[in-house]
Structure 1
């Protein structure tokens, strides 16, 4: 039970804003996934198609690096897109170890439909926003990003149990030692 006058650690204006932000991003993702269902590709595959449509003959390796996934993970996604007839993989003429990704006509149609879906979603999201509102929101999001980026660079958080490092819980370590 809370003591009178004490605040629950997650009952703050900051936390309420974080919760709103998370709800917005989850709803945005759900709307995208719902709208893209009719295109026949999943969201991550869709991102690959969009990029490949604007970067003809992009390599499989470059796609993996761009999306921060392993070559094997990218190969699985590309295999599904190829099997569905959305892309072709061609061996690079200059390096037989590399595949170039070429979007097919079927893939182009998905991209065209998707552009319309995204344009509609953008109009919906920012309905009633002025140019000034958009600038302010953009600046605020940039500041939040900068703050989080700096926090990552700052290193571990000091607690009474010792520093909390990424992937390490000092409380669990203390229990294991006892």
Structure 2
């Protein structure tokens, strides 16, 4: 009997464990390589966000990263102190700062992008394009199911708060 014929709903737990193990290993490996750039993992994410959204305000960054403005403010302060970003007062509104990368920040973003690219290549070594396509479709289905569960939880919380 083929391996696929043996698959049953009992394998759900093992599949979830494999996904969790993958995520943990991937994070550790990425952290190892990203540490060499001198910037913490969360700061990489913020630097890349600034790179992709030049002159974005702190509030824009907080919204796009789905974190509080206070969290962004603390991270930006550290990045500015380290010489990775520059904040400039918005000419139209003094309450807002436009965030831009310095040359040092751009170098870290480029290093990070190379690390991500190299790691992605190694992770998918030996995979055909068809296999990657099937995996992507399956992961999208899993993500869709999780999104539905999140929506159910939000609805449940709204109902509970009205009681």
- TM-score class normalised by the smaller sequence: 0.7 to 0.9
Task: Determine the structure 2 residue equivalent to 1:133.
Answer: 131
C-alpha change, 1:53 and 1:14, in structure 2 (3 Å) is: same
Q: Which structure features the higher share of helix residues?
A: 2
Q: Which structure has the larger Rg over C-alpha atoms?
A: 1
C-alpha change, 1:42 and 1:132, in structure 2 (3 Å) is: same
Structure 1 distance, partners of 2:55, 2:149, is: 38
Where 1:95 maps in the other structure, the secondary structure is coil
Task: Determine the structure 1 residue equivalent to 2:18.
Answer: 20
The number of residue pairs the alignment matches comes to: 148
- Unpaired segments ≥5 residues, structure 2: 1-8, 158-163
Cα drift, residue 56 of structure 1:
1.3
Task: Determine the structure 2 residue equivalent to 1:174.
Answer: none
C-alpha change, 1:69 and 1:155, in structure 2 (3 Å) is: closer
Structure 2 distance, partners of 1:18, 1:147, is: 13
Q: TM-score, normalised by structure 2?
A: 0.86
Cα drift, residue 52 of structure 1:
1.1
Residues 1:120 and 2:118 are matched in the alignment: yes
Structure 2 distance, partners of 1:141, 1:30, is: 21
Structure 2 distance, partners of 1:154, 1:19, is: 23
Give the RMSD, CA atoms, in angstroms. 1.6
Render the CA deviation track for 1:12-55: whole Å, top value 9, x for unaligned.
Answer: 31001100000000111111111011111111110111121122
- Unpaired segments ≥5 residues, structure 1: 1-10, 157-164, 167-178
Residues 1:76 and 2:74 are matched in the alignment: yes
Cα drift, residue 155 of structure 1:
5.0
Task: Determine the structure 2 residue equivalent to 1:153.
Answer: 151
Q: TM-score, normalised by structure 1?
A: 0.79
Structure 2 distance, partners of 1:115, 1:17, is: 29
Cα drift, residue 149 of structure 1:
1.6
